[in-house]
């Protein structure tokens, strides 16, 4: 990717419409809280098409992934900027399985690609560690951690359940991760998991994984903000994912629009960049295990 992908400006539409502003720096310089409902300020980011797809199944392998028809380099820049703001990145067992199959989009941010060198410099200037730490939600523990994470000096915290397989738990601990059984049962409770990250001292946690982790966070009232890129493109497909998958959220989670930018002059399909604060919905969160 060359820098020319980023030269077209974006147009602020909300809270005030205004003159075009550069894409670069849009989220790097945005004001972001450093505490949230469960301790850290927990935020996530997705790119979705107009027909709501975030991932499609590959017709040959049937494996889900983010194809080029959904991914976008300008959104990817903002994704990396949001990663630069994080103390810790939230990922999933699925991501590390994809990584071994070569199906994940990139190594966990921050990317080492030349286009994102400025973000590494930005963290250095702020006195932050070179890379955010890593939290992984997984019940199965059925994945392998890449050595690169530890070579980069990152703390790796695996958030799992008390029923997680002991052998896999020992394997991850031997590799250098800390494995935390957050609660009993089939899945990790999002609020208890985020409280653990808060107790570890993290102030901003960025969920970069998919719809099941998002559902876990939403159902537990543990997600503070959502950044949503909507590409003005429809892609169809019979097997796909939307930004959240799982049982109906009761009550539904309401978003309050914080900012909206129109990106109509980039090299590819037009799109919009929205940031929502998610309203608290106490009562739906599962009881503390």
**Stretch 192-251 residues interacting with ligand NAP (CB under 6 A):** 209-213, 216, 241
DSSP state of 10: B
- What is the C-alpha to C-alpha distance for residues 36 and 222, in angstroms, rounded to an integer? 8
- How many residues sit in the footprint of ligand NAP (CB under 6 A)? 25
Question: Does 139 engage in binding with ligand NAP (CB under 6 A)?
Answer: yes
Judged by CB under 6 A, which of 40, 109, 187, 266 binds ligand NAP?
187
Q: Per-residue x/- mask for ligand NAP, residues 39 to 58, rule CB under 6 A?
A: -------xx------xx---
Closest approach of ligand NAP to the CB of residue 148, in Å: 19
Stretch that binds ligand NAP, among 33-41, 62-70, 119-127, 262-270 (CB under 6 A): 62-70
- What is the C-alpha to C-alpha distance for residues 79 and 106, in angstroms, rounded to an integer? 12
- What is the C-alpha to C-alpha distance for residues 103 and 101, in angstroms, rounded to an integer? 5
DSSP state of 69: T
Question: Does 109 engage in binding with ligand NAP (CB under 6 A)?
Answer: no
Judged by CB under 6 A, which of 112, 140, 178, 239 binds ligand NAP?
140
- The token pair at 156 is 């790796």
Question: Does 65 engage in binding with ligand NAP (CB under 6 A)?
Answer: yes
Sign of CA dihedral 176, 181, 185, 190: negative
Q: Per-residue x/- mask for ligand NAP, residues 260 to 289, rule CB under 6 A?
A: ------------------------------
Listed as own residue / partner, the contacts of 29-36 with beta carbons closer than 8 Å and 24 or more positions apart are 30/259, 30/275, 32/85, 32/204, 33/204, 33/224, 34/203, 34/204, 35/203, 36/194, 36/224
Which stretches of the chain bind ligand NAP, using CB under 6 A? 46-47, 54-55, 64-66, 70, 92-94, 137-140, 142, 187-188, 209-213, 216, 241
């Amino acid at each position: 990717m060359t820098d020319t992908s980023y030269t077209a400006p974006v147009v602020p539409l909300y809270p005030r419409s205004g003159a075009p502003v550069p894409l670069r720096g849009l989220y790097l310089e945005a004001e972001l809280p450093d505490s949230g409902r469960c301790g850290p300020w927990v935020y996530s980011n997705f790119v979705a098409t107009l027909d709501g797809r975030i991932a499609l199944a590959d017709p040959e392998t049937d494996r889900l992934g983010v194809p080029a028809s959904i991914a976008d380099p300008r959104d990817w820049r903002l994704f990396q900027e949001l990663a630069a703001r994080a103390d810790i990145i939230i990922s999933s067992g699925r991501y590390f399985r994809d990584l071994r199959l070569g199906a994940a989009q990139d190594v966990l941010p921050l990317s080492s690609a030349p286009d994102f060198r400025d973000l590494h410099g930005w963290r250095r200037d702020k006195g932050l560690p070179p890379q955010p730490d890593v939290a992984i939600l997984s019940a199965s523990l059925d994945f392998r951690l890449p050595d690169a994470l530890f070579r980069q000096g990152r703390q790796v915290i695996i958030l799992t359940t008390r029923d997680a397989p002991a052998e896999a738990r020992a394997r991850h601990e031997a590799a250098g991760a800390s494995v935390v059984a957050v609660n009993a049962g089939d899945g990790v409770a999002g609020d208890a998991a985020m409280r653990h990250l808060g107790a570890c001292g993290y102030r901003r946690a960025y969920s970069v994984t998919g719809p099941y982790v998002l559902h876990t966070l939403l159902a537990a009232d543990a997600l503070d903000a959502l950044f949503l890129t909507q590409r003005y493109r429809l892609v169809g497909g019979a097997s796909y994912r939307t930004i959240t998958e799982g049982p109906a959220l009761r009550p539904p989670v309401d978003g309050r629009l914080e900012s909206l930018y129109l990106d109509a002059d980039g090299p590819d399909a037009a799109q919009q960049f929205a940031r929502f604060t998610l309203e608290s919905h106490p009562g739906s969160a599962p009881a503390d295990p």
